[in-house]
Amino acid sequence: MHKFENCLVVGISSRALFDLEEENQIFINEGVEAYTKYQIEHEADILKPGTGFALIKALLKLNTIMSGERKTEIIVMSKNSADTSLRIFNSIKHYNLDITRAALVSGAYLAPYLGAFNTDLFLSANEEDVQEAVNSGVAAGIICTQHLLSENKQEIDQIRIAFDGDAVLFSDASEKIYKSQGIEAFQENEIENARNPLPEGPFAKFLKTLSSLQKEFDKNQAPIRTALVTARNAPAHERVIRTLRAWDVRIDEAFFLGGMEKRNVLKAFGAHIYFDDQAIHTDAASDCVPSARVPYINTDEETKG
């Protein structure tokens, strides 16, 4: 029996893996029956890579360079029905992606199944699904599809993942002080609490899992490289550094931008995915690097509809 212990498990929607924007418009404008009919009629048509394709391909490559048991598992998690999924699996086979598992829920909520698969990260273009995932404690991002990046023909030798700090790696407690009381109150709070680790945010566990994978390699040969790209600057940087030290995680590169635009730094870093809680940053970055917005945790029962 296959277990996902000591394995990075990534759930990805079909629309994040492949370019299904035209099909999504059919679903929105004409309904589920028209969408189903279209997908069945085009089962033999191979889908183009989507925003998350290159990242998933590179993550699967880890299984070929790391000895022993599998280190990454990719699960297609989709609101498609089994009947409309054949085109997706035909495309997976065409690109020789080692993906054999799927959760196809025919419009139901995906969140309950994330725990069943021990999912570490969930990527989807559907905001409702990602919100439910974050609410249930799973790292998740709404992947930007408005700027579909062309497939990189060059193989990714080192996966580069970039994170915002507050409300992504860390909780949004400090960010709330900034929004409600201003920059001076925020700076004062961070100075006073410089030696108190920041509370964990939705991506803390995911970062720790990545760090564990990195530690299996020499620092200069690790197939994963991470970066922190935050609007914080001195003196608010100290608490961040001490927090990462307390978590015993490795961040390879850190950028304390103090309000500077993040896009150019992310492009220079060469991120294969960037996670931020603010659409202003993910929208600006998404035309040069794949980006995903992390929604704030919402515990209200009303989100469950």
Report the C-alpha gap between 154 and 124 in whole angstroms: 24
Structural domain total, the chain: 2
Q: Is residue 131 domain-shared with residue 187, that is, in the same domain?
A: no
**Which CATH number covers residue 123?**
3.40.50.1000
Q: Based on the domain organization, do 295 and 189 belong to the same domain? A: yes
Beta bridge partners of 226: 161
Say which of 129, 164, 166, 276 is annotated catalytic: 164
pLDDT computed for residue 148 by the predictor:
60
Whether 172 is a known active-site residue: answer no
Claim to verify: residue 188 and residue 124 sit in the same structural domain: no
Same domain, 42 and 132: yes
Neighbouring CB atoms inside 10 A of 218's CB total 8
**Quick check: is 152 in a domain?**
no
124 shares its domain with 174: no
| Same-domain pairing of 134 and 163 | no
Q: Which of 116, 143, 170 is the last residue of a domain?
A: 143
pLDDT tens digit string along 68-124? Answer: 678 899 999 998 888 889 999 999 999 999 999 999 998 888 989 999 999 999 999
- Which residue segment(s) compose the domain that 95 sits in? 8-143
- Residue 99 and residue 57 in one domain: yes
Please tell me the pTM assigned to this model. Answer: 0.91
> pLDDT of 114-151, one tens digit each?
999 999 999 999 999 999 999 999 999 999 987 665 55
Look up residue 285 and give its amino acid.
Answer: A
Q: What is the pLDDT of residue 149?
A: 59
DSSP H/E element including 22: helix 21-30
Sheet with 139-143, strands from edge to edge, namely: 101-104, 72-78, 8-12, 121-124, 139-143, 291-293, 273-276, 159-163, 224-230, 253-256
pLDDT in tens, 186-214: 999 999 999 999 999 999 999 999 999 88
Question: Quick check: 174 pLDDT over 80?
Answer: yes
- Are 284 and 179 in the same domain? yes
The verdict on 163 and 297 lying in the same domain is yes
